[in-house]
Structure formats: C-alpha cells, structure tokens
Structure 1
C-alpha cells in the first residue's frame, strides 16, 4: 500500500474493553442492557500472545450483542498480562462508548436507585448537526464510562 493512500473502512465492527473479571462484567452489562452474550471463550496459544503483544498470555473473551451482529462490545479478561489503568475520560488512552436510549432521565433514576454510579445526572448537550441530546455517563465495575444518549430533535 502506498504511504499516501488511506484505508477505506467498510464499518466499525466492535469495541473491545479489557476487564478485571469477565463474569462480573457480563453480569453487570446483562443486568442493565438487553444484550445477548456470545461466549465466553478461552483463548490460548502462541497466536493470542503474538496478536496481543503479551507472549504466553491467555484471554477469556465474550461479545455482547446489542441487537446487531455488526455492532458488538467485546469483553476481554487477560489471565496473565497487563496492569490496571485509570479509564476516566480525561486520561489519555481512555475511551468510552455510547448507546442510544429512549429515556435517559428514567434510566438514570432507576439505576441510581439500584446503586449504580454515574459521573453526573443527565444534561442536555449544546446542539450541533451530529450530536444533540440528553446524556449521562454510567460507570461500569472497572471504571469505564458508558454514555447513555437520548437524541433530541430540532
């Protein structure tokens, strides 16, 4: 491939999150969201170490299907690799993902009453052509931010 060409991407297939305890994360996500769990699977062997950059590692893996097989959340638990990082949004290297919901205020009230943590109550974003709505960040057991996004119409 020539250095001046750009790679054309057909679609975004999945987002991967490395978690401390796969079973705990599956319980968290399936307890809140209507998702189908694919897996878990144990991944071992030299190929896993080669592709991840952790020779000799093994990985427990599951995919969460939110209703579209081309938009998945991959959960990975490395059984012998890596260190714990602070996934707060302001830290370089941190990431979050957003899910579209119908009523962010009702979800926030329900999940808060059940003891789930959020960064803040829902707010309304400033309008722009690509993103305008009510949002809040739900925090998962590993500190990842899950943006709950309720689109608004002009």
Structure 2
C-alpha cells in the first residue's frame, strides 16, 4: 500500500441553478472544458444532507488540462437549487472561495477582467506572493494565485483548482482535522491582523488566516495532473460568522463540497474514525457516474463543511471510442503516463 492516502484535490462542487449555463461560463472564462461525466440521475445516498428525501440532479465534472483539480458543476432537477438568504462574507463557515492557479497573475487578471463580465479586484500582495479576488456570475467568490505545480502548458491564462479558502470558527481545532486528513502538511503562514487584500463588507475587520500546503508527491494515478493542495483556513475575529449552508441542502447554490482523490478508502476510513472523524456517507462499493465509477464517502470538518472522498475505479480516457482505465487492476499507485492523461483532452468541448 502507498504511504499516501490522498493524492490531491479531485474537484470542488459548485451548486448552481442551471448547469449548462454555468458550465459554459467556466469553460470560456476559466478553461474547464474537458468533461469526465455529464449525468442526470438521483442522489439516493445523500439523503442525510437533502432533507431525508432522494432528489434528482444534473452534474458535470469538468477539468482544466493545464493541471489542478476539477469542478463538479451541480444542480437539483427535482427542486430549485436555493441560494443563501444572506451575502456570504469571507470568514463565514464553509468553503468561502476556490483558489485557481495561474502561471502569470497579471495576464490572468487582464483575461478575467476582459472576459468574465463581473467585477474583478486588483492584483494585490498576499501573505505569500500575489493574486486577486473575483466573483462568478452566480455570486461565488474565487481567488487566482501563482502555483508551482503544472501538468502541461495549454496556452490559457488560468489553470485548475489549486485549493480553497475555508471559513472556520477555531483555526486551532480545524488544523488538527486537516492535518489528520492530509498528512503531511506544511504551515506556509499563520498571521493575524487586518488584511488589505480580503474583500469584506466590514472595513477594518481582523482575521486569523493560515495557509496549509500538501506538496505534490508522485503517488496516485492522477497526481501529476492534480499537483499541490492549498487550503487557507480563515477565522473572523470581530464578528460571529454565519454557516453558509444553514437551513439549506447539500447541492444548493454555492461551494457544496471539497473532494479529494483517495488512494485507499478503507485505510483512510479506519484512520479518520480512530481520530474521531467518522464518515457520514459511504457508498461502500463502486458507484457509477455516467462513464466514470468509484467509491465515494463524505465526512465533515469541525464546522460541518462537507469533505468528499473518491477512490476512482474507472475513468474515461477516450469516451468517443470507449477507451476506459480500470484502476482497480493497477498493481501500484504510480502516476499514469502523461501521454495517457493528455488523451482526456481529446474530449474537449469547444465554444
């Protein structure tokens, strides 16, 4: 068995009201144009988070082949996906923002500013490097920063998911959870104060923020595509934060989960349960999503933010000719060859 139990961020779930419209924006502006699956079906195992009822949904898992995690763009079809009834602020409990990677912050800023159709913040100094904040047309906050791990040069100004910003109520409690999940992690910075870069409706608000990084290791079939993991924990110190999904369902509008590519689900489950972090959902066997399949599970961080774990069993490399990779037959956790991963890009959707 590999020493690593998680190889990287597989995807972040984005709840929207119209999947085709949202995916078009994410394709054209952020480069998520390679679908792994595009499926309409029921979500029977998620009833603990959907009011005890089975609901239907439409989901697309899309990749940016420059490297980084993907996006699972998700909408209810049996009900209308509900937005929060308040404006989500940095520091509220849950996934506040996605961090997308870029090789050149200034080129990415010019591209997003000229093509997103939304307000974009300026390029600013961060506790590490430079970056900028923006919003998508659905009110979701994102951040674009530099990153040193890339899969290939696609010529696009923005790459895939490098990480997330997670609002927490107690950083000291939360960091124990994320270290248990993602060992080994390094603390890149841990700072407290008023930060000029953070977009906020509360001027002068103090935060504590901590960036955790899991450096790339060549373990896992998709590790070279996924790269590093960056998780910034952020705690609002001058106000009581709101729970982003309070009185709403998983799958409603916003960032619904953070999903990790898992290499040994049984070992990870045993480890996390022994440390007091039980699975709340577990498919226990392979679960199909159109042409892909895998075992999936969920657990919660100390503030209830949903963490998804997926042990991939089958993935399409060239869907058009029916070429799939059965990962359960592999005898090692070595990365797939680059040329094989790049064939996924042949299924790119062009606008």
TM-score by length of 1: 0.79
| Superposition map of 1:3-152 within 5 A | 6-7=115-116, 10-11=158-159, 12-34=161-183, 35-44=185-194, 47=196, 51-68=199-216, 71-81=229-239, 83-85=241-243, 87=245, 89-123=250-284, 124-129=286-291, 131-152=292-313
Q: What is the DSSP-based 3-state SS (H/G/I as helix, E as strand, rest coil) of the residue aligned with 1:54?
A: coil
Runs of at least 5 residues in structure 1 that lack an aligned partner in the other structure:
none
Native 8 Å contact 1:108 1:121 kept in 2? no
Note the C-alpha offset of 1:48.
Answer: 5.1
**SS of equivalent residue, structure 1 residue 108:** helix
SS in 2 for 1:72: strand
Structure 2 contact 187–213 (Cα < 8 Å) conserved: yes
Which whole-Å CA distance do the structure 2 matches of 1:110 and 1:122 have between them?
18
Higher mean alpha-carbon deviation, 32-41 vs 112-121, is at: 112-121
Alpha-carbon distance between aligned partners in 2 of 1:9 and 1:147, rounded to the nearest angstrom: 28
Task: Please list the CA deviations of residues 12-67 of structure 1 after superposition, one character each: whole Å capped at 9, or x if unmatched.
Answer: 3331110000111112111332121212111315x256x22221211111112121
C-alpha RMSD of the superposition? 2.7
Separation in 1 of the partners of 2:253 and 2:273? 28
Stretches (4+) displaced over 4 A: none
Matches of 1:133 and 1:111, distance apart in 2: 20
In structure 2, runs of 5+ residues without a counterpart are 1-109, 117-155, 217-226, 315-325, 327-351
Distance 2:163 2:182 in 1: 17
SS at match of 2:254: coil
Equivalent-residue separation in structure 1 for 2:162 and 2:290 (angstroms): 26
Give the structure with higher Rg (CA). Answer: 2
What do the CA deviations read for 1:54-83 (whole angstroms, capped 9, x no partner)? Answer: 212111111121214854111100101353
State how many pairs are aligned.
149
Distance 1:114 1:65 in 2: 21
- From the superposition, tell whether residues 72 and 89 of structure 1 become closer, same or farther in structure 2 (CA, over 3 Å): same
Q: CA 1:17 to 1:9, structure 2 compared with 1: closer, same or farther past 3 Å? A: farther
- Give the 3 Å change call, closer, same or farther, for CA 30–71 of structure 1 in structure 2: closer
Change (3 A) 1:53 1:86: closer
The question of whether the paired residues in 1 share the 8 Å contact of 2:169 and 2:235 is answered with yes
Q: How far is the alpha carbon of 1:147 from its aligned partner?
A: 1.0
Question: Cα distance, 1:9 vs. partner?
Answer: 5.0
Residue 132 of structure 1: how far off its partner (Å): 2.5
Q: Do the aligned partners of 2:294 and 2:313 also contact (CA within 8 Å) in 1?
A: yes
Quick one: distance in 2 between partners of 1:122 and 1:110?
18
